[in-house]
Amino acid sequence: MKGLITDIHARSILDSRGRPTVEVECFVDGSLMSRAAVPSGASTGSHEAVELRDGGDLWHGSGVEKAVKNVNTVLRDVLVGSDVSDQEAIDGLLIEADGSMNKSIMGANAILGCSMAAFRASSLAKGVPLWQNLPGTWPNPSLPVPLMNILNGGAHASTNVDVQEFMVVPYGFPDFDSALRAGTETYHALKKTLGEKGLLGGIGDEGGFAPSLQKNEDGLRLLVEAIERAGYSSETQIGIALDVAASEFYKSGKYSFDGREIGGADLSAIYSSWVDRYPIVSIEDPFDEDDWMSWISFTERGHDIRIIGDDLYVTNPIRLQKGIDEGASNSILIKPNQIGTLTETLKVMGIANQEGFDCIVSHRSGETSDDTISDIAVGTGCGWIKTGAPARSDRTSKYNQLLRISEAGLPYSGWV
Ligand code: PGA
Ligand code: ZN
């Protein structure tokens, strides 16, 4: 039989923040077929699958030698001899070898590296593009609308801005290429404006600018100004998406926002007034990951926007089901390393689709040049991808892969 995994090999490489991460190679029928690298979050949800870090002094505790060793010993042994095209069986073996509820034994970083390397290898072995090789039935592939994070705050910047991500969303364009161009021109327009206002400081972890601002709302004003300065309409062409990542500033039932301690209802009122006055198309993690009541009552307000759970759901089917049952949001962020295998990631997307929730496939703030998420977003036809600023190769690798795929003539998802 051909198409068997003959070896798996992992090593530690550097991610975009200069921290170690896991890279895995998959050999099929004796030849090196593929390589995959695992990303890492900064504002991680507490319910995520466990990223195994070594602790101790080396790398200030962030080494991944234990995870690498797990791949090169236990996981290699269970995968060698497997049919590389049977992703579900491969992921089943990985889950079984770990045996825990949260992948804390082998490490979700070790497991996802193997899962993605095998997925990439099977596409190469079959000679089909990755986006056409997703396990399951995904009948409507499309180019996703990018959520481009051009102003960074929160845990991704050393500034006073509480909101983690201010993103532009170029939905009103006929194809992905022109949407990407418009979003990128907006990024450069924002740079000019920040420079003129003396606000151009550093760059955040996802490649966006990281100014200190008097109030969080200033970020919204700056984005609208940048969209219009670039020559686009903030009403019909480019909208704004926020990732508040509110768990990062929630403590003892209060949110520390704009220098004040406020409750969930007050924060909801602020969001509602923003939605009324700015072209906001989505808000991610508006509340803490366990403040379900605030999520439910904000969703009940019926704003015509995507309310996206990231830390809330951590790409986990049990948490997603609770959110569906209780009406806690209407959309979910999808990060493969929050759950740990490709099969489980796609299962969560399937549940979301069935229940009318939108899926936004996402990178992490710590990234590599791995571009697998681009193909997942296209192949599932989910319509949205969140992958940072249109700058820095850890971010542009995903956009550039989408440009390559766009040559196949797939439709641009656009506004739906
Ligand atoms: P993280 O940020 O990768 O640091 O968790 C991304 C996000 O919150 O969406
Ligand atoms: Zn988030």
Q: Pocket residues for ligand 1 (CB within 6 Å)?
A: 41-44, 243, 245, 310, 362, 364-365
pLDDT attached to residue 1? 76
Where is 295: in which H helix or E strand? helix 292-300
- Among left, alpha and beta (phi > 0; psi -120 to 50; other), residue 259 is left
Superfamily of domain 145-406: Enolase-like C-terminal domain (3.20.20.120)
pTM over 0.75: yes
pLDDT attached to residue 103? 98
Q: Which fold has domain 5-127?
A: Enolase-like; domain 1 (3.30.390)
Beta strands, E only, 143-262: 145-152, 165-170, 202-203, 209-210, 238-243, 250-251, 254-257, 260-262
- Matching residue, tokens 């403590």: 251
* Three-class DSSP category at 9: strand
Look up 215 and say whether it is catalytic. no
pLDDT attached to residue 415? 67
Q: For the chain, where do the domains classified as CATH 3.30.390.10 start and end?
A: 5-127
Nearest to 187 by CA among 226, 140, 238, 222: 226
Residue 55: count other Cβ atoms within 10 Å of its Cβ. 12
How far apart (Å, rounded) are the C-alpha atoms in residues 315 and 44? Answer: 12
Check 206, 289, 344, 367 and give the catalytic one: 206
- Among left, alpha and beta (phi > 0; psi -120 to 50; other), residue 222 is alpha
Q: Candidates 15, 43, 333: which one to mutate for ligand 1, based on the most atoms within 8 Å of Cβ?
A: 43
Residue 229: count other Cβ atoms within 10 Å of its Cβ. 15
Q: How far is the CA of 249 from the centre of ligand 2 (A)?
A: 13
Q: For the chain, where do the domains classified as CATH 3.20.20.120 start and end?
A: 145-406
Q: Candidates 364, 384, 395: which one to mutate for ligand 1, based on the most atoms within 8 Å of Cβ?
A: 364
Nearest to 123 by CA among 82, 87, 93: 87
Look up 196 and say whether it is catalytic. no
Q: How far is the CA of 219 from the centre of ligand 2 (A)?
A: 17
Give the tens place of pLDDT for each residue, 347-385: 999 999 999 999 999 999 999 999 999 999 999 999 999
Query: Residues in the chain with pLDDT < 70?
Result: 415-416
